[in-house]
Amino acid sequence: MKHIPKVLAICFLSISCFLITGCSDSEPPESPQSPGNRTSNTYASDTPSDSAPDDAPDNSDSSDRSDDSDASAGPVRDNTPHVLVPEASGSDVHGNDFSSIDASHTQEGYVMVKYTGDNSKVKLRITGPDQNEYIYLLSGTGEYETFPLTCGSGAYQVQILENAGGDMYALAYSADLNVSITNEFGPFLYPNQYVNFNPDSKTVAKGSELVNGVHSDLEAIENIYRYIIEEITYDQQKAESVSYGYLPVVDETLSSGKGICFDYAAVMSAMLRSQGIPTKLEVGYSGEAYHAWISAYVNEIGWVDKIIQFDGSSWTLMDPTLAASNNRQDVGQYIGDGSNYVVKYSY
């Protein structure tokens, strides 16, 4: 594998241990490091390089940008937060004595699940109409958690799996759902287990503050991105000690000003979603590395994947974790033109 910056290497090595996705029912390692989350919205024209240093270089030019963009033309954009709140309203519930799957709002692109049993290791497996499987850990709090239905309309199977010892899991409950999604952006606007926020979140208020006075969604994305890479630092100690089953808490990251890759991505996603900008947390492959990144939807453009280029303006790399720790040239040489990204899962 090519030499890559240290922070990127940590992210790559750890995400395969942390993000609980895929078809296997085997138990992942108990002490993974931080997940590697990187946005796919990048501006880079160089091809991958074999000469990227092992140590993360200075990020003195990580905020390169053009201030002469036409994005500031037109009326001021409304920055009022618009937080969609998932509901377990009970109109369509499947389950047994210790499992509940509330499918009351699948048309909005999500399902809510809670487990009230006494097994300490419980997984949720969602199989979409494309037969792609998503594996999550249930928190065991006895409260409903939200999970996106990202495979579109069709037949879904939702299964709750209890640990039966070692790496073995037994089926505790299964429900077949016929889903017709009417809000195609719902899965990427509502909060979920990975991107968890609510109307009272300080992250939501900060996102609104950051986009006050901007004229477009693109300008809003840039302001939020710029804040994250300049104000949140990479927490190396946390990356090396984070425990199995870790989920980001966006307000804690905002308050501490420190985080690991998953924290960076979750904060940015929460801010964008609360501003009505659909945002995908995507997991897949960048070259040979299992990785994660973010894509955002802009009305004039559609889903912005891998590269941002608009009106000839110069954008910095839209990768909050890397841009906070590396300079544009080194990271750009590794990422290339984005053609080496292959999406496996979207959250």
Report the amino acid identity of residue 251.
D
Map tokens 């969602």 to a residue.
126
Rounded to whole angstroms, how far apart are CA atoms 162 and 198?
A: 29
Summarize the confidence of residues 173-191 as an average pLDDT: 97
DSSP 105: T
The C-alpha angle with vertex 205 and arms to 88 and 64, in degrees rounded to 5, equals 120
Return d(Cα 74, Cα 43) in angstroms, integer: 25
Mean pLDDT, residues 131-143 taken together:
92
- pLDDT tens digits, residue range 39-67? 333 222 222 222 222 223 233 333 333 34
CB 157: neighbour CB atoms within 10 A?
15
* Strand arrangement, sheet containing 302-304: 302-304, 289-298, 279-286, 341-346
Question: What backbone phi and psi angles, to 5 degrees, belong to 210?
Answer: -65, -30
Give the model's confidence band at 13: pLDDT under 50 very low, under 70 low, under 90 confident, else very high.
Answer: very low
Instruction: Quote the DSSP letter at residue 55.
Output: S
The per-residue pLDDT of the chain, averaged, comes to: 75
Selection from 118, 114, 111 nearest residue 134 by Cα? 111
Measured distance CA(60)–CA(251) in Å, rounded: 27
Q: Are 269 and 294 in contact (CB under 8 A)?
A: yes
- Per-residue model confidence as pLDDT tens digits over 272-289: 999 999 998 877 666 665
**Residue type for position 280:** K
Taking the model in full, what pTM does it have?
0.76
